[in-house]
């Protein structure tokens, strides 16, 4: 994945009033998840913006509340591409991926971002765009190539995740399809249902007519 550099600041004032004031300044509240798992009670010192979320069995997870500007994330959000995000938090560099976006139901502006901290050891699950490559045999025979799944969910360390999943369709015949279970990408685990159809060459009226003529 291409790296997207993003400056962020710790958010120390929480609550509805503080959030409203933040958005009025053209900023967006962000939560960075996936941080360090700790034993409770925690005896260390938390940095600005950090808080502890209990996850059970005497353990907790450190998450970080941040703010970013609308302008800074525009190219990250309004694009079909995916990125590894290099966060700069007061000079401290941390890697993350975009996990979720909350939009305003009417105005469609960004209300909140969820990021997931990543490293080169722990696998993460993320949606990756699909791109079809080649010229399907079925299309040459008069069929129509359709893409049913524009993104697939993959599990891998973030350094192995590509910007797109390239699927070759040269050998895809008329009336045939490719399911998730038919695909393999080195270093990636596809977590969608194995029988889910990714793409297919559908029979068109012209193709049916040609097939009927050939059968006579």
Computed over every residue of the chain, the mean pLDDT equals 91
Question: CA dihedral in degrees (85, 87, 92, 93; nearest 10)?
Answer: 10
Cis peptide before 41 (omega within 30 of 0): yes
- Structural domains of the chain in order of their starting residue, each with its CATH number: 2-118 (2.40.240.10), 125-215 (2.170.120.20)
The band of 139, judged by pLDDT with boundaries at 50, 70 and 90, is very high
pLDDT, tens only, 55-82: 999 999 999 999 999 999 999 998 888 9
Q: Is the pLDDT assigned to residue 97 strictly greater than 60?
A: yes
Q: Among candidates 67, 2, 1, 55, which has minimal Cα distance to 30?
A: 67
Phi and psi, residue 16, nearest 5°: -65, -40
pLDDT for the residue numbered 126: 93
Q: What is the pTM for the complete model shown?
A: 0.83
Range 76-93 average pLDDT: 92
């Amino acid at each position: 994945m291409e790296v997207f550099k993003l400056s962020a600041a710790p958010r120390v004032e929480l609550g509805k009033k503080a959030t409203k004031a933040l958005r009025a300044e053209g900023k967006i509240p962000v939560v960075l998840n996936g941080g360090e798992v700790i034993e409770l009670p925690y005896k260390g010192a938390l940095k600005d913006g950090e808080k502890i979320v209990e996850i059970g069995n005497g353990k907790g997870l450190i998450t970080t509340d941040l703010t970013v500007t609308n302008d800074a994330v525009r190219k990250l959000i309004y694009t079909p591409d995916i990125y590894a995000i290099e966060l700069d938090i007061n000079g401290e560099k941390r890697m993350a991926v975009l996990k979720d976006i909350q939009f305003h139901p009417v105005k469609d502006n960004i209300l909140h971002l969820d990021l997931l901290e990543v490293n080169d050891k722990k696998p993460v699950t993320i949606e990756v765009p699909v791109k079809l490559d080649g010229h399907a045999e079925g299309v040459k025979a008069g069929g129509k190539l359709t893409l049913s799944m524009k993104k697939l969910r993959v599990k891998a360390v973030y350094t192995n995740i590509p910007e797109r999943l390239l699927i070759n369709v040269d050998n895809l015949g008329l009336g045939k399809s490719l399911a998730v279970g038919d695909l393999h990408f080195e270093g990636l685990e596809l977590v969608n249902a194995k029988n889910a159809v990714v793409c297919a060459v559908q029979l068109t009226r012209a193709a049916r007519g040609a097939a009927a003529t050939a059968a006579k």
